[in-house]
């Protein structure tokens, strides 16, 4: 039997280069392997946990995210795309799983902790937000997913998933929930345009897959380099230099990047020239994606989702039946 792969993204905005190197690239590789059945979920319920007062923003981005998937080359014939809110069994499984996780355990989760700080929730994060990792465990386990292609920030979620799966199976004397593994890409984390923080839509430091050629250029030229590198002839720092981070991630030739690094360190390569090289690299990378995106027809997207929701629902119903019978809530 094929292994199931499940992953997803919050539709709080369009997808960006961080999504690409962190997770989309793994999905593109894995869709070529016949031993996996791939489920890709647009996590609108999870997106609502920190955007509950602007649901129209989430709704507007559901199909934008699907367009990004198709535009980067994820094939609807090789992946099942579905929308989280349309699979109501997820809510039921979340309810059962909530009993197995303590508030303190959630508060200690490093990813959640960082997000709570970033979103300035202080001591009183909304319960929905605090509990989204539990809903994410339901996402993974309801579909029997054994492999989860994600960025580095999701690793604590996978660890939590496996702990809770163990606990569930032990308490209810069953094996109906499966443990899973994270699948990390070569660059599981991309820093933002201005250094330090990771690329994140909410921090406004990202290049979207759908950005126009002018916007890409503007963003590249706003990138943080080495503040002590004032003249082209000065030796420059490569470590912590955002332009090099993006060149490492997107330039087709590592040898060329390595030559550029040598030259930059020695002195003789100016920031404007360097940024022009990165701009060309990203323009070449993003132009075909943008072109494919523009050709996508809305009715095709709706058909893809209808189909995917149906397929996802079939698995969901099977697992929830087993879960109910394990707990004894099957009358
Ligand atoms: N937390 C993921 C993100 O922020 C989205 C997500 C929701 C997810 N459910 C998932 C990822 C299940 C992997 C598996 O992008």
Q: Which pLDDT belongs to residue 235?
A: 93
Distance CA 272, CA 278 (A): 10
Residue ranges of the chain whose pLDDT lies below 50: none
Q: Which pLDDT belongs to residue 33?
A: 94
How far apart are the CA of 211 and the centre of ligand 1, in A?
A: 23
Nearest to 277 by CA among 240, 254, 244: 244
Atom 15, ligand 1: which residue's CA is nearest? 9
**For ligand 1, what atom is nearest to the CA of residue 154?**
1
Predicted confidence (pLDDT) per residue in 285-297, tens digit? 999 999 999 999 9
Q: Which pLDDT belongs to residue 197?
A: 77
How far apart are the CA of 101 and the centre of ligand 1, in A?
A: 18
β-strand pairing of 79-83 with 145-149: unpaired
Q: Which pLDDT belongs to residue 199?
A: 77
Residue from 9, 40, 151 to probe ligand 1 pocket by mutation (most atoms less than 8 Å from CB): 9
Q: Which pLDDT belongs to residue 162?
A: 98
Atom 9, ligand 1: which residue's CA is nearest? 136
Distance CA 295, CA 286 (A): 15
Atom 1, ligand 1: which residue's CA is nearest? 9
Predicted confidence (pLDDT) per residue in 68-118, tens digit? 999 999 999 999 999 999 999 999 999 999 999 999 999 999 999 999 999
CB within 6 Å of ligand 1 — which residues? 6-10, 43, 46, 136, 139-140, 148, 150, 154
Residue from 8, 79, 129, 130 to probe ligand 1 pocket by mutation (most atoms less than 8 Å from CB): 8
């Amino acid at each position: 039997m094929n292994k199931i792969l499940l992953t997803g993204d919050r539709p709080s905005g369009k997808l960006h280069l961080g999504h690409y190197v962190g997770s989309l690239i793994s999905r593109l590789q894995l869709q070529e392997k016949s031993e996996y059945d791939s489920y890709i979920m647009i996590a609108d319920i999870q997106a609502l946990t920190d955007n509950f007062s602007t649901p129209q923003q989430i709704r507007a981005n559901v199909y934008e995210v699907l367009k990004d998937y198709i535009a980067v080359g994820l094939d609807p014939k090789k992946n099942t795309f579905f929308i989280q809110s349309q699979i109501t069994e997820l809510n039921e499984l979340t309810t059962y799983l909530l009993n197995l996780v303590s508030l303190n355990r959630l508060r200690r989760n490093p990813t959640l902790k960082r997000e709570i700080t970033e979103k300035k929730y202080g001591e009183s994060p909304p319960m929905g937000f605090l509990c989204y990792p539990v809903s994410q465990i339901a996402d993974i386990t309801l579909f029997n997913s054994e492999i989860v292609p994600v960025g580095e920030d999701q690793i604590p979620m996978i660890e939590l998933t496996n702990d809770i799966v163990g606990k569930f199976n032990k308490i209810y004397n069953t094996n109906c929930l499966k443990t899973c593994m994270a699948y990390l890409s070569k660059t599981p984390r991309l820093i933002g345009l201005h250094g330090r923080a990771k690329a994140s839509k909410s921090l406004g430091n990202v290049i979207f897959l759908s950005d126009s050629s002018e916007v890409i250029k503007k963003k590249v030229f706003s990138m943080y380099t080495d503040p002590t590198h004032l003249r082209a002839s000065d030796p420059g720092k490569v470590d912590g230099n955002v332009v090099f981070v993006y060149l490492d991630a997107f330039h087709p030739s590592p040898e060329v990047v390595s030559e550029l690094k040598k030259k930059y360190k020695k002195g003789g390569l100016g920031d404007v020239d360097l940024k022009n090289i990165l701009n060309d690299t990203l323009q070449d990378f993003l132009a075909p994606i943008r072109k494919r995106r523009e050709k996508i027809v809305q009715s095709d997207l709706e058909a893809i989702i209808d189909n995917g929701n149906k397929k996802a629902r079939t698995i969901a119903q099977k697992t929830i039946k087993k879960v109910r019978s394990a707990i004894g809530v099957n009358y």
